[in-house]
């Protein structure tokens, strides 16, 4: 079989993800493999039509395609998204139709599933036969049992191609929406007082839905928020995955991103992300923004801020999860998500007005929603990995986590451990155990009842 590897790491051959691909190649030498380091040469692909056409030719002549990538900020790297944009821009989707495909990623399992759901949706839109994904923890390849599991995944992929296995479609086609938003003057204007509000966008068309949504949002205030177009910021490229920022949060790039991010975004009280979805995702420019913010590594630099999102386009369920996860990981508050999916100008005007009013109200009160599983789990993942294998690489994270007491491991809570040990021992006595469990529900709610009575 002829297998094309569309590799998404900006590091190219010298990436952890590529070693998983190479292991499959080594153990299945009877197949032909063609590797294209998509993310590493994305600038050349943008400028060189011939190179892009050659890749499409390889895809068209292949029996199967493997998407391989590291997980960057909830999804795939920005460079990879740019490649997917080029497929649409250059009308090259036909090369992918009916091809069997699978995806391989490496990460620390921080929102790897959102990255895979995105790639799955892209493959469904390209009318491919998506056979499944393999999400590896970065060091899984070092374990013999995990290597066996990887090869079983590869066998399933090759079997699917050979036997033309039917593949279920998980994402229905996007629906075209011709709704045109008609903005209205706000019924009242919000006094933002001393709160700094910044709207970030990549929109260059003020007459588009998102352009008019931004205008309607700014009209909601007595003092107009600052609107910044990401296309006007000197951002030389997407995150390279070099981890140079791990020691002291200094990025390898020499451009305007860090100064812009610190002076405009970090200094704001309320940040609104405004964009039009391009297929299943915001633009690669937006993904570059999210990826490049990684110079802060795993530090929640937006703690205590209010975040809001305005979207034009059909929003997927995993995108809502991304928005909530982003705010919770940052220890910020997602005040609202407003979309034009309602296809009703009256409703959309009210939604935007509510976003403006809620954002200021929450900022004034300092309200932060309690974290759900999305935020709690992500914090524990980074707590464990930064303290463990990432500590010598992400030293800036370690210093921050230590200073702010992120290292709240249960095994260091000695008083609780002694109490639990004592209770486990005494409840081995039948009489005490029977009495304890008969009162268990009372013991659980009694402390909370005292707080209610007291306050």
CA–chain centroid gap for 301, Å, is 16
Distance CA(439)–CA(168), nearest Å, equals 50
pLDDT at res. 91 = 96
Distances (CA, A) of 220 to 18, 26, 206, 288: 49, 61, 17, 29
User: CA nearest 190: which of 306, 360, 310, 333?
Assistant: 360
Distances (CA, A) of 251 to 9, 16, 266, 292, 305: 18, 21, 17, 9, 24
Distance CA(128)–CA(116), nearest Å, equals 15
Distance CA(35)–CA(20), nearest Å, equals 13
Q: What angle do CA 429, 430, 432 make, to 5 degrees?
A: 70
130 bridge partner residues: 101
Q: What angle do CA 156, 160, 162 make, to 5 degrees?
A: 115
Distance CA(22)–CA(59), nearest Å, equals 19
Structure tokens at 27: 């153990």
How much is the pTM?
A: 0.93
Distances (CA, A) of 323 to 97, 114, 174, 226: 31, 11, 20, 22
- Give 10-residue mean pLDDT values along the chain (455 residues): 97 95 97 97 96 97 98 96 97 97 96 96 97 96 97 98 96 91 96 95 96 98 96 96 93 95 96 94 96 95 96 88 93 96 96 97 96 93 93 94 92 87 90 86 82 88
39 CB-near residues (< 8 Å, 6+ apart): 7, 8, 9, 10, 12, 69, 77, 79, 80, 83, 238
């Amino acid at each position: 079989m002829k297998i094309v590897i569309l590799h998404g790491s900006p590091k190219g051959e010298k990436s952890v993800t590529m070693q998983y691909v190479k292991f499959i190649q080594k153990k299945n030498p009877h197949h032909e493999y063609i590797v294209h380091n998509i993310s590493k040469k994305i600038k050349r692909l943008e400028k060189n039509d011939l190179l892009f056409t050659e890749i499409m030719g390889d895809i068209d002549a292949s029996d199967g395609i493997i998407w391989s990538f590291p997980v960057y900020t909830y999804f795939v790297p920005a460079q990879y998204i740019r490649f997917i944009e080029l497929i649409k821009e250059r009308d090259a989707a036909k090369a992918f139709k009916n091809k069997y495909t699978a995806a391989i990623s490496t990460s620390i399992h921080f929102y790897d599933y959102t990255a895979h759901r995105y790639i799955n949706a892209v493959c469904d839109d390209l009318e491919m036969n998506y056979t499944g994904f393999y999400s590896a923890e970065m060091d899984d390849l070092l374990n013999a049992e995990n290597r066996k599991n990887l090869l079983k995944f590869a066998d399933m992929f090759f079997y699917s191609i050979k036997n033309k296995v039917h593949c279920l479609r998980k994402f229905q086609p996007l629906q075209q929406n011709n709704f045109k938003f008609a903005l209205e003057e706000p019924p009242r204007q919000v006094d933002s007082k001393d709160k700094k509000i910044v709207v970030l966008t990549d929109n260059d068309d003020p007459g588009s839905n998102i352009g008019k949504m931004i205008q309607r949002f700014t009209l909601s205030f007595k003092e107009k928020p600052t609107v910044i177009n990401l296309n006007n910021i000197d951002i030389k490229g997407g995150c390279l995955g070099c981890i140079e920022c791990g020691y002291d949060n200094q990025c390898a790039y020499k451009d305007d991103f860090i100064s812009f991010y610190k002076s405009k975004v970090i200094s704001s009280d309320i940040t609104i992300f405004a964009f039009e979805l391009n297929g299943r995702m915001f633009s690669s420019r937006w993904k570059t923004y999210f990826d490049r913010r990684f110079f802060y590594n795993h530090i929640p630099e937006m703690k205590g801020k209010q975040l809001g999102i305005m979207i034009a386009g059909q929003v997927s369920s995993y995108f809502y999860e991304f928005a909530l996860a982003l705010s919770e990981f940052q220890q910020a508050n997602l005040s609202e998500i407003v979309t034009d999916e309602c296809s009703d100008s009256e409703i959309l005007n009210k939604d935007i007005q509510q976003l403006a009013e809620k954002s200021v109200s929450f900022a004034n009160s300092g309200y932060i929603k309690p974290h759900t599983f999305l935020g709690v789990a992500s914090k524990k993942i980074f707590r464990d990995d930064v303290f463990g294998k990432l500590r010598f690489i992400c030293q800036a994270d370690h210093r921050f986590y230590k200073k702010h007491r992120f290292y709240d491991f249960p095994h260091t809570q000695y008083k609780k451990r002694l109490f639990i040990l004592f209770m486990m021992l005494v409840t081995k006595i039948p009489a005490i155990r029977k009495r304890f469990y008969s009162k268990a529900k009372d013991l659980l709610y009694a402390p909370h009842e005292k707080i209610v009575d007291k306050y």
